[in-house]
Amino acid sequence: MRNLKNLHFENRKDYFLIKINRPKNLNALNQKTIEELILLFDFITKNSVGKYGIVITGEGDKSFVAGADIKEFVELDGKSSLKFCRNGHDLFNKIEKMHIPVIALVNGYALGGGCELSLACHIRVATLNAKFSQPEINLGLIPGYGGTQRLTQIVGKSKALEMMLTAEMISAEDALDYKLINNVVDDIDSGIKKVEEYISTFKRKGPNAIKNVIKSVNNYFDKDVDGFEEEIKLFIECVKTSDFKEGIQAFIEKRCPDFKGE
């Protein structure tokens, strides 16, 4: 993908790395960045052969994403705020439904829309200087990119309400304690090491099974879907793959499976 103004996109061995690249604004998500991310995730959906994950982080050492771009809020009214929310929801739903795991490497402020971006990812690794918050209440707002739902799903109602009602900043260690994140690492270098460990683990699994685990877990939160029934369908779908046969054969022969995604 070329001509990305606010994103740095790297095609790395086994995974894609995306950096939100507006460090002067602490990587705040303006509408242009949201649109670029939507295009990029559409591109990745069609071009992910040989990739086992996507890592999202922020440029610089101060911020992952400090929220939606507040400077653009001056123009916001009842009508334009619908488009504002829809764009964010479309992007974050897309991320949550990706067929390969998306890892947020949170390297500083993850505030408002930044915290919500991390919540839409499948795994969250945070550096020790990371700070999480949903501070929208300080602006007379509520989270608008899915935060009221996903934060509640992830940390539970009490903590979610406390975070959203107080706008308090949470340290990486507390975020780990609340199960908001999966890991804390010292710095960005150890963060890259950690996410690459995840990618190399995902590489050894069957891509169909990975895709169906994500789908099935997402179904739990979809009120229109019977997650148990869908699990049966997705299980059967896996049984019909060559990878399943390979997995069983490898177990019997006491060797590592060689999954081909077929």
Report the catalytic residues.
116, 136
Verify binding: residue 170, ligand CAA, rule CB under 6 A.
no
Q: Report in angstroms how near the CB of residue 184 gets to ligand CAA at its nearest.
A: 20
Q: Interface with ligand CAA includes 67 (CB under 6 A)? A: yes
Rank residues 70 and 225 by Cβ distance to ligand CAA and give the closer one. Answer: 70
Q: Residue 36 or residue 136: which is nearer to ligand CAA going by CB?
A: 136
Among 15, 16, 41, 109, binds ligand CAA (CB under 6 A): 109
In this complex, which beta carbon is closest to ligand CAA, that of residue 127 or of residue 208? 127
Task: Tell me the CA distances in angstroms from 112 to 4, 12, 29, 115, 239, one per residue in order.
Answer: 23, 29, 10, 5, 41
Stretch that binds ligand CAA, among 13-21, 140-148, 156-164, 173-181 (CB under 6 A): 140-148
Contacts of 117 (CB under 8 A, 6+ apart): 29, 56, 64, 65, 92, 95, 104, 110, 145
Binding part of the chain for ligand CAA, among 22-30, 156-164, 171-179, 196-204 by CB under 6 A, reads 22-30
Answer yes or no whether residue 58 interacts with ligand CAA by CB under 6 A: no
**Dihedral sign for Cα atoms in the order 94, 214, 156, 62:** negative
User: Going by C-beta distance under 8 Å and a sequence separation of 6 or more, which residues neighbour residue 219?
Assistant: 225, 227, 230, 231
Residue 120 vs 214, nearer CB to ligand CAA: 120
8, 71, 83, 86: which one contacts ligand CAA (CB under 6 A)? Answer: 71
Task: Give the number of other Cβ atoms within 10 Å of residue 256's Cβ.
Answer: 8
Among 53, 58, 60, 144, binds ligand CAA (CB under 6 A): 144
Alpha helices in 133-241 (DSSP H): 147-155, 157-166, 172-177, 188-203, 207-220, 227-239
Burial 82-94 (b: 16+ CB within 10 A, else e): eebeebbbebbeb
The residues that touch ligand CAA, with contacts defined as CB under 6 A, are: 25-26, 28, 66-71, 88, 109, 111-113, 116, 135-136, 139, 143-145, 147
